[in-house]
Amino acid sequence: MKIQQIDVWQKDLPIAGPAYKMALQTLTALDTTLVRITTDSGLQGWGEVCPLGPAYQPQHAAGARAAIGEIAPHLLGENPLLAEQVNQRMHQALCGSLYAKSAIDMACWDLAGKAYNARVCDLLGGAAREVIPSYYAIGLSSPEQAAEVAVKKQAEGFRRLQLKVGGRTLEEDIACVRKVAENLQPGTALAVDANRGLNVNDAIQLSAACQDIRFIFEQPCQTYEQCLHLRGKLHHPLWLDEVIEDINSLLRAVRDNAAEGFGMKQSRIGGISQMRTAREICAVAGLPMTCDDSWGGDLVAASCVHLGATVSASLFAGTWIAAPYIDEHYDQQHPVTLTQGALQLPQGAGLGVTPDSVRLGAPAMTFCL
């Protein structure tokens, strides 16, 4: 089997409801990139990468397409069933840009599933569960507003909440954590996520001020070294997210005993193939993980659900998807949706989601043999 054609689409994913506010940007739509690989046998596989705007991390949408444009000509004629070889070819063609490569890697896994008539989760070792717990991220807001969302989302079925902090006074953050904690039902887990927004001093003080509250403290500070500085000084388990940029940084964090868990984002570390490796490393180290991505439509969501399904129950902390914020699905018959705080594994071979290419319109780029 040979890759005969690679099509690349740009698409704006509109955000449902009010604009999505972050420390450095306000977003009303996300620029996503879809990739379709077509083989000489006619089989097709789909992939997607959707950075969270241009200011959240070094990854950005136009960069993804530029990188795919650089890589794609080198992949024509390759066997997409050999994902490892395809990844090697990608690394030979372009240094870095793991996020761009993740879309092609995803398309190869989707295609392999269709070729072998198996779901991606089955190719990854098999699903430990068919229904995947998700979690809800409560944005930066007042203590009362955050508590209101916490109550509402628990009523909808979420059993894990993530509360954003940082970018304001320490007192406001502490008040918000306390108010949300007061409104937690038994069995609801809480993650307090600063997305790198706290300095070392404030991270230590926030943990000390809330030491009677049970939560995990996610990516409090900007750099790996700052987070490492916190070891032994916190009253809460420390998780790393944004600073785990690839398998090497994950290995370093495990070696340094730098974290009690990881928020893993598939596109940041290079896709499904790399997430499989990360899953094994976390399992050997006995460290829990999430299977997420920064943003994305049905393809990214399906990929995260397939990955999440394969992580053992004792080490799996949930899969976040952007679906509640998006007004649109690529596959009207098989959308990936949240029900009562959980995600059903897509059925059907591969990812189980096939975008309607007619609705996508003309590709932005096409490469063919």
Q: Would you tell me which residues interact with Mg ion (CB under 5 A)?
A: 193, 218, 241, 263
Give the phi and the psi of residue 249 in degrees, each rounded to 5: -70, -30
Q: Which is nearer to Mg ion, 2 or 168 (CB)?
A: 168
In whole angstroms, how close is the CB of 76 to Mg ion at the nearest point? Answer: 37
The answer to whether 60 touches 51, Cβ cutoff 8 Å, is yes
- The number of helix segments (H) and strand segments (E) in the chain equals 13, 16
In whole angstroms, how close is the CB of 191 to Mg ion at the nearest point? Answer: 8
Q: Which is nearer to Mg ion, 9 or 135 (CB)?
A: 135
In whole angstroms, how close is the CB of 244 to Mg ion at the nearest point? Answer: 10
| Position of minimal CB gap to Mg ion | 241
The answer to whether 104 touches 75, Cβ cutoff 8 Å, is yes
In whole angstroms, how close is the CB of 122 to Mg ion at the nearest point? Answer: 28
Q: Which is nearer to Mg ion, 36 or 196 (CB)?
A: 196
Q: Which is nearer to Mg ion, 108 or 317 (CB)?
A: 317
Q: Which is nearer to Mg ion, 86 or 289 (CB)?
A: 289
- Residues 30-60 as b or e (16 or more Cβ within 10 Å = b): bbbbbbbbbbeeebbbbbbbbbbbbebbebb
Q: How far apart are CA 264 and CA 107, in angstroms?
A: 20
Q: Which is nearer to Mg ion, 44 or 59 (CB)?
A: 59
Q: How far apart are CA 91 and CA 273, in angstroms?
A: 13
- Please name the amino acid found at residue 145: Q
In whole angstroms, how close is the CB of 135 to Mg ion at the nearest point? Answer: 10
Nearest-10 crossing angle of helices 143-156, 170-182: 30
- Residue spans of beta strands (DSSP E) within the chain: 3-14, 20-21, 26-27, 29-39, 44-49, 131-133, 136-138, 160-164, 189-193, 216-218, 238-240, 261-265, 289-292, 338-339, 342-344, 365-368
In whole angstroms, how close is the CB of 113 to Mg ion at the nearest point? Answer: 28
Q: How far apart are CA 267 and CA 290, in angstroms?
A: 13
Catalytic residue IDs: 164, 265
